[in-house]
Amino acid sequence: QVRKLGYEFRFVELAQDISGRMPAYVVSRVMSALEGRGVKNGRVLLLGLTYKADIADDRETPARDVVRELRKVGLRAVGHDPHLDSFDVDGELLAMATDLGAALGDCDVAVVLQWHSQYEPAEIVARAPFVFDTRGRLAGPNVERL
């Protein structure tokens, strides 16, 4: 609407550009962190796939772009979201973990994409070998924040 009136909307356009680049940036940071730990072809557990916390709406979620980027670089991803039974990315279902504790122990990195109130910070930090936290909720020696 603002553009139709002839005004510049540079700030919003810049924010959209940054948001659009964030999934690739997250994946590159995860890859660098894994390589720094000597892990190749790591198993990635994506925590929180919905657009907003504590809801089941996965429309417009950046998690799909993160999965696409992970697929491009050959990393295997599994998802977990207490509000979703399945997660489709370009017609292909993402494998979904039903037992969070087991999935945390079976991954090389847990990537927090969306924070749901059902997640227990202490459990995630204690069980995952490494956590990449895009939400800034966790702390610990095995946690790296965006």
Measured distance CA(145)–CA(136) in Å, rounded:
6
- Ordered alpha helix ranges (H), the chain: 10-36, 63-73, 100-106, 121-127
Distance of CA 40 to the CA centre of its chain: 19
Q: Place 11 in a pLDDT band, splitting at 50, 70 and 90.
A: low
**Chain segment 28-44, per-residue pLDDT in tens:** 999 999 999 999 889 99
**Chain segment 53-90, per-residue pLDDT in tens:** 999 999 999 999 999 999 999 999 999 999 999 999 99
Q: How many CB atoms neighbour CB 125 within 10 A?
A: 18
Nearest to 75 by CA among 45, 107, 43, 48: 43
